[in-house]
Structure 1
């Protein structure tokens, strides 16, 4: 990824005071499960991990924690700049006793830049901020340079799942991911993207249906 100066995460990084218990976990547990601040090999974080997954923008951490609990042999790395979401995720990790979760409390693009080539088996981008106004589309996470970085970090055959409940963002993402030539989309019928994948975990945010369409799920495969 080219160096364009410091990255800027748009939107609020904190919305309300963090609850005392979560604040205590942020002080005590987060430093233990935070990913390194320099380039690193994810496999070194959990030797013997069967796979390495990345969730970008994990929100409150519900999906990330549930996937990690379901697959304890998989290292799950999560990235989220929103501090309240990080606090919530740390609580999930502690309450469920998850030893296979590592967190980056910052912009996912910073994390991607520190990952080696072909180190990820799966990546999730679920219901990212849609920035629905046209003048804000440049703030959307899905941009050609991010698609290229995801392709670089994913192994050949690795999978990228994108979900949104905003029709324009669905079209935007499909166009940019396929235009990269780095991924293929294996959907054969409408149900392949209209219905949640079998291993999907619905979160409270998704249930709110804040978008303008029913949830759309795209599973892309790294060429």
Structure 2
């Protein structure tokens, strides 16, 4: 922890105190939560009832959230992508109370640090909500097909999701035939679903179901080489860093949302 003298020196230089950032050891929680339990969640009755301005104070009236990180964990992907897409609003959705609070505090600290340093705004375009995306995703996002412009949900991320190894738990996996219909609903045509895991069986499960769903097509690996988001998907999260430290494998698969079939 910085001493009082150090804090004064930092403030005198136009810098934020070093201890502004939250520390994970004060936000301990179980690694996973049961998505079928009653978590006493607060969610909007419809997307139009959502107060986005409270999450993004600097947003313009025509802006909407474009990136959604489902099960965002400690927010590593959001923080990494924020400066890469400064004009894009991004939302993390996390079901665990303490982890959600950590991400919220982390974003607040980043914003405050930059305001104290007189730098351009940082992380003004990212926010987090405590939510169960398996149940309430359409409560937050409109139908992607209804967007007149490209300013609607264009990327959904599922990074190192709970593998639910036991067969009787497979219904709790975040990628399933029923849930894919909801992801296709909120994602605009041309939008991308990013999946990554270190569990081969889960990777094969997600690829199988996404490939079988008629509104998604897999993006070839050679095409992904030109996507700047892919590297952050692999390396920016806590789980991704842990796998890398342990020299584990990472299995990536990305899918593009197709146009709705003509009637």
How does the TM-score come out when normalised to structure 2?
Answer: 0.64
**Could you tell me which of 128, 131, 143 is aligned with 1:117?**
143
**Could you tell me which of 71, 88, 91 is aligned with 2:85?**
71
**Could you tell me which of 183, 204, 215 is aligned with 1:150?**
183
Q: Distance in 1 between matches of 2:251 and 2:27?
A: 32
SS of the equivalent of 1:131 reads coil
**Could you tell me which of 170, 174, 199 is aligned with 1:166?**
199
- Equivalent residue, structure 2, for 1:81: 95
- Equivalent residue, structure 2, for 1:218: 253
CA root-mean-square deviation: 3.1
How does the TM-score come out when normalised to structure 1?
Answer: 0.74
**Could you tell me which of 44, 67, 77 is aligned with 1:53?**
67
- Equivalent residue, structure 2, for 1:179: 212
Q: Which has the higher strand share?
A: 1
- Equivalent residue, structure 2, for 1:4: none
Per-residue deviation, residues 149-185 of structure 1 (Å, max 9, x unmatched): 0111010000110111100000000111111111111
Per-residue deviation, residues 177-213 of structure 1 (Å, max 9, x unmatched): 1111111112256x97xxx924534223222229996
